[in-house]
Structure 1
Amino acid sequence: MKKQGINYLRNKLVTYKNRVDMRYKQYAMKHTDKDVGITIPSEMRRQYRSVLGWCAKGVDSLADRLVFREFENDDFEVNEIFEMNNPDMFFDSAVLSALIASCSFVYISKGEDDLVRLQVIEASNATGIVNPITGLLTEGYAVLDRDENGAPIVEAYFEPDLTTYIYFDKDKEDEKIPNPSGTPLLVPIVHRPDAVRPFGRSRITRSGMYYQRYAKRTLERADVTAEFYSFPQKYVTGLSTEAEPMDSWKAAVSAMLQFTEDDKGNSPKLGQFTTASMAPFTEQLKTAAAGFAGETGLTLDDLGFVSDNPSSVEAIKASHENLRLAGRKAQRSLGSGFLNVAYVAACLRDNYPYLRSQFANTKPKWEPLFEADASLLSLIGDGAIKLNQAIPGYISIDNLRDLTGIKGGDNSGK
């Protein structure tokens, strides 16, 4: 494959950086939508600017269920590498970044103690050229540090046999460090890749952003309408032209108003304009929530529309079937990326370019997407007994842990 060079990768990163930053703002609930509408003035709309965290909920609902356990058939002892790199933070950070921006990157290097270090870099600071067969990069580029204005301070260009560090500080010279692994030390972790989009797809989709924007506009309109709903407009007819002007605030909050007849015996008549109902806004918000829930595999309960009856684990799993399927797909694609990280890290640790095929038997293992409760444990136990009676040894300790997420006791041999 022809080498593109660092300038090409710099321009490529600039092209996609704005999209990634926008999705991070959506996740952080800091994105400001354009003012649209023909009834509410822009100045008033800005006073009632709404904030909604549905996109963050759509990401977290899946990210919190993706818990990486370990590598099975670990012939190259790669689990030790991850254990030395704070795995609780590393895996969660890599998964969350990949779900937000469609991919994240792991920068692999050696520390002063000659131990392999793993650092997660978000997609707004790294890019590369993907090998469509292995999912590894043929060359990569990353911004390792930026100043307070967002300008790069340290860049890195990754090649199969060399890593070049570029410093924008005049006091530092560029470094070129040999790479014994034979693979660029920047590995992508991709969520839902395909042939058209090798860097995957974000959990924050255009459709999801639309439904959230639609709900935010509904909340803003409801907020403005609530002001008139709280203090409905009143009117008085039949006042004498010689009557003193009425204080509008006093008329709104006073418990008792007094009006006297004029010389001809006529008295004023009080009235109140019909207030707008808040019910249509509630229905609009629920419609937006239903659309967002269908897009992300959630339920209305997840978005704050609580149902009356509590659900069991089985009912929750049934209602989250689309979320479960999305989670299984994410486990496959993200697990392949973590296996690539393990492969490159092992090559760097041992200073030897292993073949990727040598890691074919090493399998990433994940905890179950849904934790088992007492009733589910009972059902699994009954099923395991019946299956083992029909086919002895069919259900093992490893199978049970995959189903329940519970590690066996000391007497189980695990």
Structure 2
Amino acid sequence: MEYGLPYLKKKLAQKSLRVSMRYQYYEMKNHINDFSSMIPSDFRWLAYSLGWCAKAVDSIADRIVFDGFDNDDFQIGSIFNLNNPDILPDSSVLSSLISSCSFIYIGRGDDGYPFMQVIDGGNATGTIDTTNNLLTEGYAVLERDDHKKPTLEAYFRPFQTDYYVNGKLDESLTLVHSAPYPLLVPIINRPDARRPFGRSRISRTCMDVTQAVLRTFRRMDVSAEFYSFPQKYVLGLSDKAIKGFDKPKATISSFLAFGNDEDGNKPTMGQFQQQSMTPYVEELKAFASVFAGETNLTIDDLGFSTANPQNYDAIRASHEQLRLAARKSQRTFGVGFINAGYLAACVRDDVTYDRRAFANTKPVWAPIFEPDAAALGALGDAILKINQAVPDFVGSKAVHRMTGLESDND
């Protein structure tokens, strides 16, 4: 069943605002939602930024490194190698972690060879077949003008892609191909039955905590004024002395002199208790603990030093939940990369392949945590013992996946 282009445009308009908001948090361009009436107006113009959301995304994105395909009977790895293999997978992974889903757009170049391009979740959408995570139809904005108005759009269907220039169908650009699915492949982060297009790494909790921390920064700035220059008071000044009193000079002065009045009375001077910054620091640590728990990071990752682990095992143990989250994301990203290679192979060979023919093709990933020298020694002993018990059980491919090392004999 096809819903049509108007439906997909409306769907993209609804989703693009959420994607744009998460990109603002990732790029640290979000505004402070300040609801306090106690902040002086002179301080409301102050802008702050916080990189915790970017840290939450990059901590996984930097560890998920696509390393090709195994059992690649249809040579789809060669298609990726000719389409910026150092940029395409990393860009799609990063965009998926931010917006929950990115898309790989497949086209056919002038030489007839397929090309691939990453489109973020704010510029593409579609209806998905949850049995294989391929779209049944799709829509993407490929180009926009300086005012963000779409100038080149594409409507993706099985065996055909229609292009719209300035809102009008351009039949000269229509691409007829052999792929049985639309040439727009979703790369999804952590999909489930309720959210087939996945979930963003920047959750609502991450955004709420970020807002709370930014408001704390603003309150710290206000309090810092009183911390730097403690408030002083004078009792018993005459009206004449009050009129000539220089408040700015008295604020920064370390010595104030007052004489007796005509009746021989002298004023009483004092100082309010100095403002402390300690409560704000403790509040920031509390927010950091909440954010770390939400994103599987540690307090050290967010800038609060505790006991920095020095070896591979300690680092891996402190980030065990992060490793599990990265491994989960690898599984869903791998399905997307195989789907993209499958459709690109259909375009390249001009053959309508069955998706089941690619069932044995597996994505290969670099190790999430690269072992240090001590860990390599322990791993080498373990591999030796395993191969002694079961000859040739662990080969060069398995060693490469565990360590990231490549053999000179390959």
Which position in structure 1 is the counterpart of 2:196?
Answer: 198
1:268, CA displacement in angstroms?
3.0
For residues 305 and 87 of structure 1, do their structure 2 counterparts lie closer, same or farther at Cα, with a shift above 3 Å needed? same
Question: Any residues of structure 2 matched to 1:42-53 within 5 Å, and which?
Answer: 43-53=41-51
Offset at residue 370 of structure 1 (A)? 0.6
With 247-256 and 333-342 compared, the bigger mean Cα shift is at 247-256
The aligned residue for residue 212 of structure 2 is 214
**1:257 deviation in Å?**
3.1
Question: How many Å apart are 1:282 and its aligned residue?
Answer: 0.7
Q: Which residue of 2 aligns with 1:296?
A: 295
Q: Is the 8 Å Cα contact of residues 32 and 215 (structure 2) preserved in structure 1?
A: no
Gap change, CA 1:295 and 1:270, over 3 Å in 2: same
Task: Give the match's secondary structure for 1:276.
Answer: coil
User: 1:170 and 1:384 mapped to 2: Cα distance?
Assistant: 62
1:265 CA displacement: 4.5
- The C-alpha deviation readout for 1:352-390, integer Å capped at 9, x for no partner, is 011111111111000011111011111101111122222
Given candidates 168, 177, 180, the residue that maps to 2:178 is 180
Q: Name whichever of 313-322 and 169-178 sits farther off.
A: 169-178
| Cα offsets for 1:152-174 (capped at 9, x unmatched) | 11111111121111111779666
Q: Which residue of 1 aligns with 2:136?
A: 138
> What is the CA-CA distance between 1:275 and the residue it aligns to?
2.3
Q: Considering only aligned residues, what root-mean-square deviation do their CA atoms show, in Å? A: 1.8
- Aligned AA (1:397): S
Give a deviation string over 1:232-272, Cα, whole Å, max 9, x none: 11112243455472211222233443333345544333211
5+ unaligned residues in a row in structure 1: which ranges? Answer: none
Deviation at 1:46, TM superposition (A): 2.4
Query: What secondary structure, in the 3-state scheme, does the structure 2 residue paired with 1:141 have?
Result: strand
Q: What code does the residue aligned with 1:3 have?
A: E
What stretches of structure 2 of length at least 5 have no aligned partner? Answer: none
Tell me the distance in 1 between the aligned counterparts of 2:87 and 2:11. 29
| 1:27 and 1:53 in contact (8 A); partners too | yes
1:211 CA drift (Å): 1.2
Query: Which position in structure 1 is the counterpart of 2:253?
Result: 254
Which residue in 2 is equivalent to 1:160?
A: 158
- Aligned positions, number: 409
Pairwise CA distance, 1:213:
1.2
| 1:240–1:169 Cα change, 3 Å | closer
Residues 277 and 117 of structure 1: CA distance in aligned 2, closer, same or farther (over 3 Å) = same
Give the secondary structure class of the aligned counterpart of 1:139: strand
Whole-angstrom CA distance in 2 between matches of 1:241 and 1:13: 68
C-alpha contact 1:164 1:174 (8 A) present in aligned 2? no
Matched residue, 1:129: 127
1:189-226 per-position Cα deviation (integer Å, ceiling 9, x unaligned): 11111111111111010111111111111111111111
1:285 maps to: 284
Counterparts of 1:268-283 in structure 2, within 5 Å, are 268-283=267-282
Shift of 1:181: 1.7
Partner of 2:115: 117
Normalization by structure 1: what TM-score? 0.94
Aligned to 2:110, the other structure's residue is in SS state coil
CA contact (8 A) 1:167 1:173 kept: no
For 1:129, the aligned partner's letter is T
Query: 3-state SS of the aligned residue for 1:294?
Result: helix
Query: What secondary structure does 2:260 align onto?
Result: coil
1:352 corresponding residue in structure 2: 351
Cα separation, 2, equivalents of 1:322 and 1:267: 68
3-state SS of paired residue (1:123): coil
Q: Give the whole-Å Cα distance in 1 for the aligned partners of 2:230 and 2:301.
A: 35
Per the alignment, in what secondary structure is the counterpart of residue 325 of structure 1?
A: helix
In the TM superposition, residue 53 of structure 1 has moved relative to its aligned partner by: 1.3
Mapped contact 1:138–1:160 kept (Cα < 8 A): yes
The separation in 1 between residues aligned to 2:327 and 2:401, in whole angstroms, is 13
Task: Indicate the SS of the match to 1:302.
Answer: helix
Contact kept? 2:300, 2:308, Cα under 8 Å: no
SS of the residue aligned with 1:47? coil
Scaled by the length of structure 2, the TM-score of the pair is 0.95
Match of 1:67 in 2: 65
Q: Counterpart of 1:271 in 2: which secondary structure?
A: strand
Does the CA contact (< 8 Å) of 2:32 and 2:214 recur in 1? no
C-alpha separation in 2, matches of 1:111 and 1:382: 50
Cα distance in 1 for partners of 2:53, 2:172 equals 41
Instruction: List per-residue Cα deviations over 1:49-90 (Å, max 9, x = no partner).
Output: 321111111001110111000101111111111111111111
SS at 1:11's partner residue? helix
Give the secondary-structure state (helix, strand or coil) at the position aligned to 1:39. Answer: coil
Q: Out of 362-371 and 209-218, give the one that drifted further.
A: 209-218
Report the Cα distance in structure 2 between the residues aligned to 1:388 and 1:405, rounded to whole angstroms: 19
Partner residue in 2 for 1:245: 244
1:294 Cα deviation from its structure 2 partner = 0.3
Q: Percent identity?
A: 51
Matches within 5 A, 1:318-397: 318-397=317-396
> Structure 2: how far apart are the matches of 1:405 and 1:150?
42
